[in-house]
Amino acid sequence: MHSDNSEELFPVVDLSGRVIGRATRGECHGGSMLLHPVVHLHVFNSRGELYLQRRPAWKDIQPGRWDTAVGGHVAWGERIEEALRREAREELGLETFDAEMVAVYDFRSEREYELVHVFRTCCDGEIRPSDELDGGRFWTADELRASVGKGVLTPNFEGEMELILK
């Protein structure tokens, strides 16, 4: 049985991404609305299909839904690029890739407030989802658009989808 470490330290940032403090995962996800940075990596194949991961049932946020291929929190003392590479390695076994910055935006849910750093890459190599995930697969743009609003995809991914399908 997995669970998220509620004592893990995250940086607290302002809207420009400047670190202004730190807080635990538990504080950041407990309704405090402390803005904390996260990284998203969207992984396309050469056919233009987009890989999504399935969030496991034990996750404290959006369990069982399909989400961005790689998504994770920036740890205290870690740079954005370091977090992106660490999460890609941990979640999908991706070691070498060229990441293109797509956008940075703030996202607020009922429980948390994130500064999301969005990247994209193309990968035709092997993707090995970790046991932290409930697997994953490539989706066509039509499949993705047909799933919007049906409770299949995370709201965060739905909001980001048009940014990256361009």
Q: What is the pLDDT of residues 73-114, one digit of tens each?
A: 999 999 999 999 999 999 999 988 999 999 999 999 888 899
pLDDT at 166 exceeding the cut of 80: no
Find out whether 147 and 66 touch, Cβ atoms under 8 Å: yes
Question: Which band of pLDDT confidence, cut at 50, 70 and 90, is reported for residue 4?
Answer: low
Per DSSP, the residues of 38-103 read EEEEEEE-TTS-EEEEEPPTT-SSSTT-EEESEEEEPPTT--HHHHHHHHHHHHH---S---EEEE
DSSP three-state, residue 114: strand
What's phi and psi for 139, nearest 5 deg? -120, 145
> Which pLDDT does position 151 carry in this prediction?
94
pLDDT at 60 exceeding the cut of 80: no
The region, left, alpha or beta by phi > 0 then psi within -120 to 50, assigned to residue 94 is beta
Tell the CATH superfamily of the 9-164 domain. Answer: Nucleoside Triphosphate Pyrophosphohydrolase (3.90.79.10)
Average pLDDT of the residues of the chain: 92
> Which pLDDT does position 133 carry in this prediction?
82
Question: What is the four-CA torsion angle of 84, 116, 101, 149, rounded to 10 degrees?
Answer: 110
